[in-house]
């Protein structure tokens, strides 16, 4: 069978960023779509997930190899199989795949996963995927949350934070979000059932936290690192758990902040546990997480907050803005539909 190649368009890393990420670090190029071999599928990207982690991949080796200049920016997508040379995934199937930032991705059929279209398909990126799994395993497994405890989450209006807060509420905890603006905080309280919020620009963050958490914090879900982590160490209760999920405050810095004072002193006196995790370590339990998340979506206790940006060419700006906290909820780029 001849392959009628659609015209592909993709976003590549044009220059390795040092300091703040900017438009000129990216380049959009038109190329031919890679022809599929036996077993491959060609996927047309519908929705692209924008994730802060992409910034860390540009920096150095993390839990994956460093992204090199010329590489397509990696990213998860919901896509439609438009050409199939893999029997089990016929053309027309809607799949979750790691397409990267491009219109057409040619991938092994074994690397794409058909998705259930009984929920709006964006939910397969905003909730029933990495973001939701990160919130679920971070809060319940790493954080070992118990009902009645107080949880604080930073970047609380972000994709992960807005889910962490809702899961904490569902689990019977008290939940306070740290956010970049009062508007975001109000949204968390009014729409997502947070018990309160603290604006990270407060003149005295420590005392604002004390007011919001008069009984201290038992679990801190840390998406930002830096000075907020240092302040939270002082707000933690005895035997508190700090879930180290990310350090978004540091991703764009040429010289990272020094580590938080209070490590290890406060860890000892308060018997604190800090633990980092990568969601992929829980891959064997993704079905468990999805079953729970799906149930909560269906019964309305979990609200998906999606922040839609239009067009592949907007993806670089969408990531740059995300790192500065311009999003509310999960940022998705609509590439086609």
Strand, helix or coil for residue 142? helix
Q: Does 66 bind its own copies (CB under 8 A)?
A: no
**77-85, 123-131, 157-165, 238-246 -> range binding its own copies (CB under 8 A):** 238-246
Among the listed residues 75, 133, 48, the one whose alpha carbon sits nearest the alpha carbon of residue 332: 48
State the nearest-atom distance from the C-beta of 74 to its own copies, in Å. Answer: 16
Q: Does 236 bind its own copies (CB under 8 A)?
A: no
Looking at 83, 168, 229, 312, which residue binds its own copies (CB under 8 A)? 229
Looking at 111, 216, 277, 326, which residue binds its own copies (CB under 8 A)? 277
Q: Does 191 bind its own copies (CB under 8 A)?
A: no
Looking at 168, 247, 297, 319, which residue binds its own copies (CB under 8 A)? 247
List all residues 6 or more positions away from 118 whose beta carbon is below 8 Å from its beta carbon: none
Secondary structure E strands in 36-195: 40-49, 77-84, 94-97, 104-108, 113-114, 150-153, 174-179
Give the Cα separation of 122 and 159 in Å (integer).
13
Looking at 91, 186, 261, 291, which residue binds its own copies (CB under 8 A)? 261
Looking at 90, 114, 259, 311, which residue binds its own copies (CB under 8 A)? 259
CB contact burial 22-57 (16+ within 10 A = b; e otherwise): eeebbeeeeeebbebeeebbbbbbbbbbbbbbbbbb
State the nearest-atom distance from the C-beta of 48 to its own copies, in Å. Answer: 24
User: What is the number of alpha carbons within 13 Å of residue 256 lying toward its C-beta?
Assistant: 13
State the nearest-atom distance from the C-beta of 312 to its own copies, in Å. Answer: 29
List all residues 6 or more positions away from 12 whose beta carbon is below 8 Å from its beta carbon: 26, 27, 28, 29, 69, 70, 71, 72, 73
**12-20, 27-35, 36-44, 256-264 -> range binding its own copies (CB under 8 A):** 256-264
The conformational region for residue 77 under phi > 0 = left, psi -120 to 50 = alpha, else beta, is beta
Q: Does 248 bind its own copies (CB under 8 A)?
A: no
State the nearest-atom distance from the C-beta of 64 to its own copies, in Å. Answer: 10
- Give the residue with the Cβ less far from its own copies, 3 or 277: 277
List all residues 6 or more positions away from 30 whose beta carbon is below 8 Å from its beta carbon: 7, 8, 9
Q: Does 272 bind its own copies (CB under 8 A)?
A: yes
Looking at 246, 316, 325, 329, which residue binds its own copies (CB under 8 A)? 246
Q: Does 269 bind its own copies (CB under 8 A)?
A: yes
Strand, helix or coil for residue 22? coil
**98-106, 160-168, 241-249, 295-303 -> range binding its own copies (CB under 8 A):** 241-249
Give the Cα separation of 133 and 68 in Å (integer).
28
Q: Does 82 bind its own copies (CB under 8 A)?
A: no
Q: Does 141 bind its own copies (CB under 8 A)?
A: no
The number of residues in the chain equals 337
Interface with its own copies (CB under 8 A): 62-63, 222, 225, 229-230, 242, 244-247, 250, 256, 258-278, 281
């Amino acid at each position: 069978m001849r392959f009628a190649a659609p015209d592909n368009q993709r976003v590549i890393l044009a220059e390795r960023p040092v300091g703040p990420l900017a438009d000129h670090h990216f380049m959009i190029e038109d190329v031919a779509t890679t022809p599929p071999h036996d077993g491959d599928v060609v996927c047309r990207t519908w929705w692209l997930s924008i994730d802060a982690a992409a910034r860390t991949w540009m920096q150095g080796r993390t839990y994956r190899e460093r992204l090199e200049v010329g590489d397509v920016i990696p990213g998860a997508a919901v896509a439609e199989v438009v050409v199939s040379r893999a029997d089990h995934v016929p053309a027309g199937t809607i799949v979750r795949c790691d397409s990267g930032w491009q219109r057409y991705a040619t991938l092994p059929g074994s690397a794409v996963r058909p998705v259930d279209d009984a929920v709006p398909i964006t939910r397969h990126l905003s909730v029933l995927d990495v973001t939701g799994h990160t919130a679920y395993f971070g809060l319940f497994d790493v954080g070992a949350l118990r009902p009645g405890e107080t949880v604080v989450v930073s970047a609380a209006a972000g994709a992960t934070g807005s889910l962490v807060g809702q899961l904490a509420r569902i689990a019977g905890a008290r939940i306070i979000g740290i956010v970049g603006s009062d508007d975001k905080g109000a949204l968390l309280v009014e729409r997502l059932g947070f018990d309160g919020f603290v604006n990270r620009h407060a003149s005295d963050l420590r005392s604002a936290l004390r007011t919001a958490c008069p009984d201290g914090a038992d679990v801190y879900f840390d998406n930002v690192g830096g000075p907020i982590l240092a302040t939270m160490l002082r707000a933690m209760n005895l035997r508190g758990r700090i879930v180290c999920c990310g350090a978004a405050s540091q991703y764009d810095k040429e010289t990272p902040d020094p580590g938080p004072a209070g490590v290890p002193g406060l860890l000892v006196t308060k018997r604190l546990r800090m633990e980092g995790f990568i969601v992929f370590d829980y891959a064997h339990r993704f079905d468990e997480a999805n079953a729970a998340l799906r149930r909560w979506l269906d019964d309305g206790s979990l609200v998906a907050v999606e922040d839609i940006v239009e067009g592949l060419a907007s993806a670089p700006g969408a990531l740059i803005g995300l790192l500065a906290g311009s999003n509310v909820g999960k940022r998705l780029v609509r590439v086609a539909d």
